[in-house]
Amino acid sequence: MKRVNAFNDLKRIGDDKVTAIGMGTWGIGGRETPDYSRDKESIEAIRYGLELGMNLIDTAEFYGAGHAEEIVGEAIKEFEREDIFIVSKVWPTHFGYEEAKKAARASAKRLGTYIDLYLLHWPVDDFKKIEETLHALEDLVDEGVIRYIGVSNFNLELLQRSQEVMRKYEIVANQVKYSVKDRWPETTGLLDYMKREGIALMAYTPLEKGTLARNECLAKIGEKYGKTAAQVALNYLIWEENVVAIPKASNKEHLKENFGAMGWRLSEEDREMARRCV
């Protein structure tokens, strides 16, 4: 089995250390339905990312109706499991005590392994459902199906409320849309609160579907560091001590570029300039 020599630009989720940039799998293996046409390419891309030293993989039962999890499960077979940190999510239609436990076990089966961090994928209006689901996840930790509990797309008020109903374990992560263009976690107080509480912020769509990678102003900043616009946009996020970015792991070229966003930091002046680029 291969070892994943995690890159030394690491962030903390719970008691674990993960690379500041991980691999997102939305669209890999299909979107809302399975697509098997690019499985080989997707598996090779994830393995390449692991070989580079990225140890964080983000997936969900909703991605490709579970097929993304199957791809991840296949990709990690060549590697030591304890070197990898896998994140998956329960879709709101499976919220509730029994349904959430069933969904988590199904995800673990598709992955062929336990889940390091399991998230509530989206909030729902019925907070009782959220509470029941969180309590189910606590029991899943005790059963060894998952290791940590988190949420996704929760605003500050809902995150605080969710923390209050936890009985045995803490919420260790909140995955939200966050980029240098969409800085709502900064402006709403969510980011500062999560810093104080030691909660990791996992930033999805960090490149705004590729538009930031083509931003000439960000590219100009990158010239000072020998970096691309995409690398500047990603570095803007991981500059924060508790932020992990999860751009899509679509191909080897993009993975290599994403990897190069780690191991250095923008100056405060250039970080402020990056804000003005978008």
**To which residue do tokens 């969180």 refer?**
134
Which amino acid, 104? A
What is the rounded CA–CA span in Å between residue 102 and residue 212?
39
Q: Which of 36, 48, 63, 193 is catalytic?
A: 63
User: Are the C-beta atoms of 235 and 207 separated by less than 8 Å?
Assistant: no
The question of whether 63 is a catalytic residue gets the answer yes
**Strand ranges, E, within 141-260:** 146-152, 171-177, 200-204, 243-245
User: Which residue bears the tokens 């994943």?
Assistant: 4
Rounded CA gap, 126 and 200, in Å? 25
Between CA 45 and CA 258 the distance in angstroms is 12
Distance of CA 67 to the CA centre of its chain: 17
Strand partners, 58: 24, 87
In this structure, is the dihedral angle defined by the CA atoms of residues 55, 156, 180 and 264, taken in order, positive or negative?
Answer: negative
Torsion angle in degrees (nearest 10) through CA of 118, 34, 254, 12: 0
Is the Cβ–Cβ distance between 116 and 154 less than 8 Å?
Answer: no
Task: Provide the greatest CA pair distance for the chain.
Answer: 54
SS3 112: coil
Could you list the active site residues?
63
